[in-house]
Amino acid sequence: MPAEESPVQAPTPRTFLLGPQRFNQSATAALRSLETDRPVVTINSGWEEREDDVGELDAALDGRAVHLRLYNRMLDVLDKDRRFAAAALAIRDRHDDLFSIYRLRLQTVLAGAYAVQRRLATREDTAYGALDDAIDVVRHVDAWYLERLGALYADEDLVDSAASSEVIHWHRGEIAGALAGAGAVVLPGGNIATLLRTLRIFATELPPEVPVIAWSAGAMALTEEVALFHDRGPEGASETELFDRGLARVSGVVALPHARTRLRLEDRPRSAIMARRFGDRHCLLLDEGVVLEVSADGALPGGSRVLGIDGAIHELRRA
């Protein structure tokens, strides 16, 4: 009898999440560690009108970058395909409306959670699980928003106009070809809404066998759910909000770039609510100098800094 063939093992994705790169080009070291001489594909559409201002990025990537220019491709689609442009604009406006309602609901339920937390601060018992229940209400509002957002993206007019668009199909073919020949893919930061929008328009899929290096908004885009946060905004602290679904290349992680400058990490009660809200996911702090290789199931390497449910910063132990 012929010997049974061994099952083909699926490639293990290599994914690097980095801290900010403006003053610390750890992206160069991460790229060189891959020991590939193939092209390095970049997706920097979050830079919007600065998408072609890539001199510093090219230098950091050893001059081997091939830029997908998704932002410019999106403008080309919107200019040439008026039916898709109208559908996309309508969905954007409906998303804005949905997000405003979500924000209103979220502020109300989070205020309730903070109030319960303050009431329990001097107690030693859990007071009937009141805080856990209050946080469950916050999670319910998050889930409601993401469910309604999914329904928006499934809008028949948007889906049909994209499926029938010749210009979108042409761009998708070029993008898929570039990604298939890549030695690595790099996603820098920028405007997370624009980055996600361009990835979605072109149905961009990152091949699992191709390593990915990402930071700031690029790191956020690789996760399952993208959270917006800013405790030090010009108008004061804003609540952490789920904004959109990401590419889900990395699971079990809420990416928090620039955490030290954007979060009031010294406010442990506030941090504790955030960590408990995302209790099944690590709230991962991505500050300057951080270089983490993360597995597809969200397993983080030793030394990763995360928020604990006690509101403190914890450093994961090395295996």
Q: What is the dihedral of CA 56, 62, 63, 65, to 10 degrees?
A: -90
* Euclidean distance between CA atoms 274 and 282, whole angstroms: 10
For residue 72, give the 3-state DSSP assignment: helix
3-state helix, strand, coil in the chain (%, to 5): 45, 20, 35
What is the pLDDT, as a whole number, of residue 198? 97
Percentage of the chain exceeding pLDDT 90: 80
Residue 316: is it exposed, middle or buried by C-beta count within 10 angstroms (0-12/13-18/19+)? middle
Chosen CATH of 15-49+63-79+184-315 out of 1.20.1560.10, 1.10.260.30, 3.90.1150.10, 3.40.50.880? 3.40.50.880
- 82-86, 127-131, 220-224: least confident range: 127-131
| Position 118, amino acid | R
Q: Is the pLDDT of residue 291 over 90?
A: yes
Q: Is the pLDDT of residue 1 over 50?
A: no
* 201 touches 77 (CB < 8 A): yes
More confident residue, 199 or 13: 199
Q: Is the pLDDT of residue 276 over 60?
A: yes
Chain-centre distance of CA 21, in angstroms? 17
Distances (CA, A) of 287 to 23, 104, 216, 220: 12, 30, 9, 13
Chain-centre distance of CA 52, in angstroms? 22
Q: What pLDDT digit, counting tens, does each position of 221-239 carry?
A: 999 999 999 887 777 678 9
The two tokens of residue 6 are 């061994």
Q: Is the pLDDT of residue 7 over 80?
A: no
Q: What pLDDT digit, counting tens, does each position of 171-219 carry?
A: 999 999 999 999 999 999 899 999 999 999 999 999 999 999 999 999 9
State mean pLDDT over 80-93.
96
Q: DSSP strand E in 196-297: where?
A: 212-215, 225-233, 236-245, 253-257, 282-286, 291-294
Residue entry with tokens 């410019």: 72
Angle at 141 between CA 126 and CA 214, to 5 degrees: 100
With cut-offs at 50, 70 and 90, classify the pLDDT of residue 263: very high
Question: Domain residues of the chain, as ranges?
Answer: 15-49+63-79+184-315, 82-158
Q: Which of 61, 69, 12, 13 is nearest to 40 (CA)?
A: 61
